[in-house]
Every structure is written in C-alpha cells, then in structure tokens.
Structure 1
Amino acid sequence: MRITLVLLFFFCFFQISAQEKKAWDWLEPADTFHSKRFKLLSIGGGAAYAVTSVGLYSIWYKDYELGRFRFFNDKFGNNDEWAKVDKAGHVVTAYAESYLAFRGMRWAGVRHKPAVWIGAGVGTILQGTVEVMDGFSAGWGFSKMDLLANTIGVSVFTVQELLWEDQRMMIKVSNTRPSYPNTLIQGNKGGNPLSVRQIAQGLYGNNYLEAFIKDYNGMTVWASINPSSFFKLSENSRFPRWLNIAVGYGADGIYGAYGNVYTNSTDSYNLTSIPREKEYYISFDMDLRRIRTRSPLLRTIFQGLSFVKIPGPTLEMSSLGKPKFHFFHW
C-alpha cells in the first residue's frame, strides 16, 4: 500500500499526451444528467451492496448465533467498549461511504445538492444495515452509540458540502497490524496455552483484510484538515494546496471489549497484565484531490484514495507513556 501511494504521487507529475487524456475522459463528471451512468451506478451499487453484506456476514457474523432483535448498551465511560476505536471506525466508514456515493452521483451528472443528499442517504443505509445485523446477532446488539457515530460521519460530509461545496476536513483511516509477540498465556480452566499472537488472530482475524476492518490495535482514525482551503491563495502562491495537518486517535493493548480477557469455545485467557493504551497523533498528510494533474485517471484514483491517510512524520502522545516521534508512520 505504501509503495503504491508513493508511485502514484510521483506519477501524477509526469506529462500525458492528449490522446491518453482523451482515452480517460469518460471518467470526468458529466456536465448534465447522464441516464446511462446513473443506471450503471444504481445497478452496480445494488450488486455491491448485496455482495458486501454477504462478505461482511462471512467475516464478522457467521461464527455467532442469530436471535431476536435486541439493543446493546455500550455507553461511553472509563471502560467503554474497545477504547472507543470501534466508534471512530464507524465515523470514518459512514463518512467514506457518503463521500464516494456523492462523487458517483456527480459523475452521473446529478446536481450538487441532490447528490449530497443521495450520498448522505447511502451512508446512512449502508451503516444502518450493519446495525441491524448487530441487532440480530447473539454476539452484539443494536447500539445507539454506533448509530450516533454513524450519524457524525454522515454529518461531517453533509455539512461541509452544503456549506462550502468542498471537504476541507477529510475523515481518514490508516492501519498497520502490530507485530504480536509469541508470549504464552495459560488458560484459566487449565486448557492449552495460547500465544498473544494467536489470541490476536482469534479476535481480529488471520489476514490483512480482516485485520484492516477489525484490528483496533492497528487502526488510527484521522481528522485531516487542509489549511489552504480556508484562504484565498493567488495563482502564484507557493504554499502547497495539497498539504494537510492531521490529528489522529488509536489504541494499543486491546484484547477484549471492556477488559483484556479473551474467551473462546474451550477456555478463557487473562491478559490484564497488558495495559490498555489510548494514543493521540498529529501528523502531516496530503489531500490527493488537490494535486494538479491533467490525467482524469489519476484524478479518479486520488478521489478514491482520499479517505486513506498518507504516511508521514508523526508525533504520538500516549495515555501511558512519553511522546514519541515517528519519521514515517501509517
């Protein structure tokens, strides 16, 4: 992922021929309503919704029994669920879904304000589906706090677009899976010991796709602000319009929802000796959408990647330790 982003960054500065540009002109937003594009998005979006719902069920819910719809109390507090990182994940997911749906509608030539409300509606429906799945799952329940986080994500997109017709603050995500140790933890019932790495895999999955969605120890959610968008810069200004300042939130040492006790089908494992740590970050970032390029293909790629935090120098402040500086952090 890092190499891909760096290559895209440098490639965008190369000149492209008029013939190459013309070949990708169809990626540009339509000036007026384009019925074929709208139908394509509607059919494709419906199919993607179905496939994603099935995939999400396979990754997240299939190992839990279904039951009657119920509510789940995970209110904020000193021992709140997953150190609030799951709530931050809901915010960025709802934001990204709303933004991408909006860009799709603009590509189909839908006028700005209707496209904004369609984007907000898509983000609300997609996240609402997850909440309903939670409501019928024996492992969770319908969470009002999740609903609030979803609403925040959709609202951050909607308010900015209605106010400025621009996203001056992007909600972004980054995720690098930690290197979990092989330290053995003895089962409380006398069962076979498991390593911390095995426990993390049991909680968050074995592959990177699962970990990107579920591993709260590796996830950071960012509010990435573009300073230049708040000022009228002249054409001759050398201030980089793509430069952002980002503040992030993450956690480490999280091996359970409310405490570090891991339970599987045969035993439970006490990891309370591992401290649960909240992490705060400030970093440089890039708003790829503001990089000037003549390539419609690159502009489209940059739009799609605009909610992914770009690696860069980062100052980390922890709830448990001293500040740390990372020359290259994702």
Structure 2
Amino acid sequence: MNRFSRRLPWYAAGGAAVYISGLALLNEAWYKEKDRTSFHWFDDSKEWKQMDKAGHFWGAFHESRLGVDLLLKAGVPENKGIWYGGALGFVLQTPIEYFDGRSPAYGASLSDIAANAAGSLAVIGQQLAWGENRLIPKYSFHRTRYAPLRPNVLGNGASQEFLKDYNGQTYWISVNLAKFLPSQSRFPKWLNPAVGYGAEEMVFNDPDTNRTIGLEAYRQYYLSVDLNWQAIPTQSKFLRSAFYVLSIFKFPAPALEYNGRKGWKMHALHY
C-alpha cells in the first residue's frame, strides 16, 4: 500500500466533513428566509438559455474527474475507481436540489439533476473508452454591463458575478486532439481546439420582461484554441497540482463567434 493509499481514508473523512459542514451552512442560510415552502419541483429547463445546465455539467464533471483520479492513485481497482469516483460529481451536486426545492422562488429541478448525471457519465464514459479524459469541459468569464442592471440576481461585484452573471460566462469543450492523432504526429500536445457556448442580454429570464428594457436574449457559439496545461512537462509536484486546477478553466485566446443576432465576429482575446 502506497503512502497516498494509507492517507486516503483521512482525506475522504476530511472532505466529507467539509462537504457536510457546507451543506449545513447552506441549509441554515435557506431556513433564514422569511418564506419557505414544502419540497416541490420546478421545470427550469427553458430558462437562461440553459447556461445553468452547462454549469451543472461542468461542476459535476470535474468533481467526478477528481474522484476517479484520487481513487486510481490510491490503488483502487480500475473498474471500481472509475465507477465509484465517477459518481462523485452526481453525489455531491444533487443534494443541493433539496434546498432549491424548499425555496418559494425556485424548486428542485429534474434538468439540473440530469445535467449533474451527464457530467459524471462523461467522465465515466471517457475513462472506460480511453482510460483518460480527452474532452474536457472548461469555463471562462468576463464582466458585463448587465449585472449592474439587476445585481440581486446577477451579482454585486466581481466575485458574485463570476458565479451568477450568465451573460459573462462561456462553457467550452477543450479537445485533446493530439490523443486522437497517430503517435508520430507533430501536432503540439499542449494545444487544444475548443468549442464554446454562451448567451447574452439576459437580465430577466422572462422574455417579455426582458424586452421592456430593450433586451432580447440570444445564444453565442465559439471556436477557439486552448492550452492543455497537463501536457506541459514538469517534475514539480506543486506545478502538476497547479496545472490540474488550471485545467478546469479555458485559457484566454483569440476566438471566432457566431450568433443569430450579429452573425460572425472575431475576438482578439476571449475569456
């Protein structure tokens, strides 16, 4: 048994304690609301141009990715490590739907749960097919003029907007193309093509309310390049850990955008 394997139960216990404490704090915050309902469901699958679903997929994917990597590093048999670790994103994300289900402004969402499951299954499927993740969902963000129009929903300040302002978020699939090419190919391992999805002019989710302030929500599609951090060779454990964390975010780069409102647009640098 390696040193990591011996420490794994302690890591798991610590992680569980932190997660349960976080849920308890979130639960306390929800209970402080003046109005609270019995648990209920709400269909939000058509809201915010599905940007929130992309966020659920992205979060679940990287939690599952971490789960698989930790278990395999600990020496857990490959099949068990993939399935047990791959379920982590779904297990961590889905209980939060309980709090949405008790909120009068929201409700538990089957489409959120489906996005959580899809993120975890994307890890499991790639691990079973290739023994690694070659298609990596990533996130990028830039501040927009829309958040100040409704800061209670879209965020007040950069740290809140990073999580809440869907107008400034872009979700990507970064493709490790070198892994699909012959081993003798000279295509650089550190360079990935990436396709992205975003949306803009979303201050109110209701289209009619949005139009009253002169906005009409629309989707955006991107083609760009990305940096494959984990293909950068290094002997430093610190840098390997840093590259692992950085690999959840899209590297700023030139991007070609298409949207139904304005057609084609070139960005010198998109993030």
Task: Return the TM-score normalized by structure 1.
Answer: 0.75
Q: How many residues align?
A: 271
Distance 1:303 1:58, change over 3 A: farther
Structure 1 residue runs without a partner (length 5+): 1-30, 181-195, 263-269
Distance 1:119 1:209, change over 3 A: farther
Check if 1:93 corresponds to 2:36. no
Distance 1:224 1:218, change over 3 A: same
Structure having the larger proportion of residues in helix: 2
- The CA RMSD over aligned residues, in Å, is 2.4
Distance 1:113 1:64, change over 3 A: farther
Inter-partner Cα distance in structure 1 for 2:249 and 2:15 = 21
* C-alpha displacement of 1:91: 0.9
1:209 paired residue among 159, 184, 187 = 159
1:54-109 deviations in Å (ceiling 9; x for gaps): 5656888865733111111234xxxx201111111111111111112222223433
Check if 1:173 corresponds to 2:123. no
Check if 1:42 corresponds to 2:8. no
Check if 1:126 corresponds to 2:92. yes
Partner of 1:322: 263
Structural mapping, 1:49-68, within 5 Å: 49-54=19-24, 65-68=35-38
1:25-82 deviations in Å (ceiling 9; x for gaps): xxxxxx758443212221221123134435656888865733111111234xxxx201
Partner of 2:252: 311
Inter-partner Cα distance in structure 1 for 2:209 and 2:257 = 27
Distance 1:208 1:55, change over 3 A: farther
2:234 paired residue among 249, 274, 293 = 293
Partner of 2:180: 230
1:261-314 deviations in Å (ceiling 9; x for gaps): 38xxxxxxx744112121111110112111111222211211122121111110
- Contact preservation (8 Å) 2:56, 2:116: yes
1:243 paired residue among 191, 196, 214 = 191
Structure 2 residue runs without a partner (length 5+): none
Partner of 2:82: 116
Helix, strand or coil: the match of 1:241?
coil
Matched-pair identity in %: 35
Inter-partner Cα distance in structure 2 for 1:64 and 1:229 = 53
Task: Return the TM-score normalized by structure 2.
Answer: 0.90
Helix, strand or coil: the match of 1:72?
coil
Distance 1:33 1:297, change over 3 A: closer
Partner of 2:112: 146
Distance 1:56 1:223, change over 3 A: farther
* C-alpha displacement of 1:218: 0.8
- Contact preservation (8 Å) 1:172, 1:308: yes
